[in-house]
Structure 1
Amino acid sequence: MSLWKEFLRALTEPLGDHRPPLATARRPWLRRAPYVLVLLVAGSLLPTGVVTLVRFHGVDPALATALAAVQAGALPLALTRPLPAWRLVVPSVLVGAVATHGATAERSWPWPVTTLLGYLLLMVLLAVRERGRTLLAVWVVTFLGCGLGRTVSGAHSDGSSVVVTALSGVVLLLGWSLRGRGEAKRLLAAQERVSETERARRALLEERARIARELHDVVAHHMSVITVQADSAPYRIEGLPPAAVEEFGQIAAAARGSLGEMRRLLGVLRTADSAADRAPQPGLADLPKLLATVGRAGVRAELAVGDGVSALGPVPEAVGLSAYRIVQEALANVVRHAPGAAAEVAVTAADGALALAVRNGPPPGRARAAVEVSGGTGQGLVGMRERVRLLAGTLDTGPTAGGGYRVTAVLPLDGTGPGEITA
């Protein structure tokens, strides 16, 4: 079945100029098959055509040789240029009809057997290469030619004209249908690729908008602190000169204006289903609760926090939020793709950065998750990459030797890392 599908695909594949049928087949012997078939047929039709025209139709040997050579030689040409080959054959058929007119009554006229076979093979090569309007024009010419021959010499003509008209129409129609089906499948596949690209782009934009909404709360908190400190500075610090008091007032006013602009920006970024984004943003302290949720989904997850993490003190809110979301997405992927597998989450500190490692083993059997990890974005690696890029960190993902999966990330606390992402 796979061979037949490959044959149909290669036969209906769009071909550039001077390319024979099956030129896009993956298997070399399929690409060579049209050449072998046409050369065998042409090599057989040439001598038999000469013998048939000379012995059974009384044609002059020189003329018979010329007609057979044109009709057989047009077949290899039809592999790459079927329409010029057909234009070459049509005059030879007319000359042959005139030359064989008046032959023995029991002989086929105006289509000797060799001419009929070569013409039908030429129709096959035309059908798999040319457009529908061209095929229709070829059949109309064939129909009119056969009809004219029967009209001019109805008593001498036999049923070969009817056979050629019917069979050429069937061959051209089947070839046109086959190419139309192949073209429709190609257009559908191209549209699916475009749709997939658009879906991936939309997912990326949605994830970036989600990250921006989350970071709004972090930035808004810092701006609020600046506003409060600037407003209270004249009351907390005695003996400030008027210029300093005025400067603090300008800082507070600018901070309040920035907060207002951020609220308007957040209104643009929010969507109808983003009400949950208004909840307080999670951080490293919420990881135990996240693992408990994963446990209810059937994934046994363990959390290991290195001693150096506590020595870091409070990490920047953007780093803590990104760390939480990366672990959340990694565990959500475990729940979706490896339900029931054991997972390990490690949080360590190294060289002024927060290092995360989430590893899981293969799923036991075909277990299914009972619940989903709450709050997951469903974007998986897309969201992880965007969060790591935001902090100029590094991300490394991929399968493990034991059949599981790993996600490791390094998030610089100052956002000045190399920003490398591998998968």
Structure 2
Amino acid sequence: MSATPSAPFFKRLPPGGWAAVAWGAGIAFTALLRIRVPGQEGPDVLPGFVILRWDGLCMLAVGTLLTLRGSALLARRPTAALHHLLVASVIASTPLGVTAIPFAQYLAVDVALYAIAAARPRREAWRALLLALGLLVVYLAVRLLAGWSAGTTSGLAVALTALVAWLLGRSEGQAREYAEQSRAQVAEQAVTAERLRIAREMHDTVAHSIGIVALQAGAARRVIDTQPEGARQALAEIETASRETLAGLRRMLGALRTADQADATFADRTEEAFRTETAVETAMDTAARGESALGTGTAGGRATEQPGPARPRGLPEMPGLAALDRLAEATGAAGVRVAVRRVGAPLPLPPDIDLSAFRLVQESVTNVVRHSGADACTVTVDQRDPEAVALTVEDPGPAPGRERERPGGGTGYGLVGMRERVGLLHGEFAAGPRPGGGFRVTARLPLPTLPTGATTR
């Protein structure tokens, strides 16, 4: 939920454009060397007689056309573009009467070497460097074999400049590859962390459901002779809790099997098994002591709170959409007003979908607090469709006189985790700026089809 920074100035023009600019700058520099400018007694370089004739001007025009053609091809066919630029440098150097290809006529080639080394594979980058340096060697060798003078020192200077441009390009390319690998690794870690969080939540949901089953089974066993109707109701609750738990496990495990599995140590698995066993034993002990659960109703797979000591004002251990008002209250204390809007009649949701829906809203609201700079946001829960629950969290953008803030830091990969969670539930997820400003997150979680004869709680 942050603004996208604008591209740096030198990246607003494509590499081909910079190659054309470099060629124009080289032509201008060549012309300045051959005329007398104010403050000089004469030009630095005497112009060759060929450049002043029509054939010399035609050579410069042909070199310019080849350069423009190569600049246009640099993004799509970099090797062909480099060939055009190299030929243009040779043609443009011919009417100058020089002993080596001048630095000014090789500027466009240097830009192409930089672009190829930065964006193309290593093998192609090496071929481009060898081609550029090989042309300089061949140019000097031809002059020597023809018995003409050769500017070896000038050629070495131009070759060194080309090598520096290529090294700078390789450095940028390697930095870009490292940045992409780092982003991919961080995104993968965010996905893995979200999967582990979902697994822990699924474990807690299963442990909670097994506890309910144990309580209801113990109560039904004790009253099956004296209160058959109560025992029948308890068995119905057991059936519903078991079906919901198995359906949630089937949905989540089926999705996780198709994705990359996160590594888990033996100690972690042992701890999870120990926690599950402890929860079941506690529930069985409670049932054995005769604490009847017949008067304890359930809603959405969670036991209804019984009268007792007041619980602290906060989120429950296994929250769902029913806890959105508490989330809005807690977020309001952080300086962001949250308006919860419910559309349609609330429907009972399976525990895993109810919890996932709450987590999506919670993460979205947290992003508003951390990154948007807004002082309010709206949460919409749409349950008009009996086959899915739709969630929307949107903020209007930074409040007047309030800049975007990042007090909580963060990696900026919260959206990756939300997308992974929705994907595991075979839902739809979208996040992006709103047309009128601000940011919007939408998610649609499909609801499972109940089997024939199943009841909802």
Normalising by structure 2, report the TM-score: 0.50
Could you tell me how far apart the structure 1 residues matched to 2:161 and 2:446 are? 65
Could you tell me how far apart the structure 1 residues matched to 2:398 and 2:76 are? 38
Task: Identify which of 2, 24, 30 aligns with 2:10.
Answer: 2
Contact 2:371–2:404 (8 Å) recurs in 1: no
Could you tell me how far apart the structure 2 residues matched to 1:317 and 1:186 are? 48
Contact 2:343–2:384 (8 Å) recurs in 1: no
1:358 maps to what in 2? Answer: 393
Could you tell me how far apart the structure 2 residues matched to 1:386 and 1:27 are? 35
- Residue 290 (1) aligns with residue 327 (2): yes
Q: Secondary structure at the match of 1:308?
A: coil
Map residues 100-139 of structure 1 onto 2, 5 A cutoff.
112=149, 115-116=150-151
Contact 1:349–1:355 (8 Å) recurs in 2: yes
- Residue 265 (1) aligns with residue 269 (2): yes
Could you tell me how far apart the structure 1 residues matched to 2:187 and 2:369 are? 22
How far is 1:88 from its partner? 7.3
- Residue 410 (1) aligns with residue 444 (2): yes
Task: Identify which of 93, 108, 116 aligns with 2:144.
Answer: 93
How far is 1:22 from its partner? 6.4
How far is 1:87 from its partner? 4.7
2:430 maps to what in 1? Answer: 396
Could you tell me how far apart the structure 1 residues matched to 2:330 and 2:132 are? 68
Contact 1:297–1:370 (8 Å) recurs in 2: no
Could you tell me how far apart the structure 2 residues matched to 1:197 and 1:382 are? 11
C-alpha offsets along residues 301-329 of structure 1, whole Å, 9 cap, x if unaligned?
A: 211224501xx2x4322222112111111
Map residues 42-81 of structure 1 onto 2, 5 A cutoff.
42-43=94-95, 45=97
How far is 1:217 from its partner? 0.8
1:346 maps to what in 2? Answer: 380
C-alpha offsets along residues 229-262 of structure 1, whole Å, 9 cap, x if unaligned?
A: 45555444349xxxxxxxx9xx9xxx9xx9xxx9
C-alpha offsets along residues 334-380 of structure 1, whole Å, 9 cap, x if unaligned?
A: 2223223431112232232333222221212452588979xx99642
Could you tell me how far apart the structure 2 residues matched to 1:167 and 1:402 are? 59
Taking a change above 3 Å as real, the CA distance of residues 26 and 392 of structure 1, as seen in their structure-2 partners, is closer
Map residues 278-317 of structure 1 onto 2, 5 A cutoff.
280-306=317-343, 308-309=345-346, 312=347, 314-317=348-351
Segments of structure 2 that go 5 or more residues without pairing to the other structure are: 1-8, 21-66, 101-128, 227-234, 247-265, 274-314, 451-457
Taking a change above 3 Å as real, the CA distance of residues 341 and 217 of structure 1, as seen in their structure-2 partners, is same
- Residue 380 (1) aligns with residue 408 (2): no
Segments of structure 1 that go 5 or more residues without pairing to the other structure are: 12-18, 50-77, 97-110, 117-163, 240-247, 270-277, 417-423
How far is 1:34 from its partner? 5.0
Between Structure 1 and Structure 2, how many residues are aligned?
284
Taking a change above 3 Å as real, the CA distance of residues 81 and 393 of structure 1, as seen in their structure-2 partners, is closer
Could you tell me how far apart the structure 1 residues matched to 2:404 and 2:270 are? 34
Q: Which has the larger radius of gyration?
A: 1
Q: Secondary structure at the match of 1:392?
A: coil
Could you tell me how far apart the structure 2 residues matched to 1:202 and 1:212 are? 15
1:171 maps to what in 2? Answer: 158
C-alpha offsets along residues 110-145 of structure 1, whole Å, 9 cap, x if unaligned?
A: x63xx43xxxxxxxxxxxxxxxxxxxxxxxxxxxxx
Taking a change above 3 Å as real, the CA distance of residues 93 and 370 of structure 1, as seen in their structure-2 partners, is closer
Task: Identify which of 38, 56, 69 aligns with 2:90.
Answer: 38
Contact 1:346–1:356 (8 Å) recurs in 2: yes
Could you tell me how far apart the structure 1 residues matched to 2:172 and 2:184 are? 18
Percentage of pairs with the same residue: 33
Identify the structure with the greater helix proportion: 1
Higher RCO (CA 8 Å, separation ≥ 6 residues): 2
Normalising by structure 1, report the TM-score: 0.54
How far is 1:93 from its partner? 1.0
- The one-letter amino acid of 2:175's match is L
Could you tell me how far apart the structure 1 residues matched to 2:412 and 2:199 are? 17
Could you tell me how far apart the structure 2 residues matched to 1:213 and 1:266 are? 13
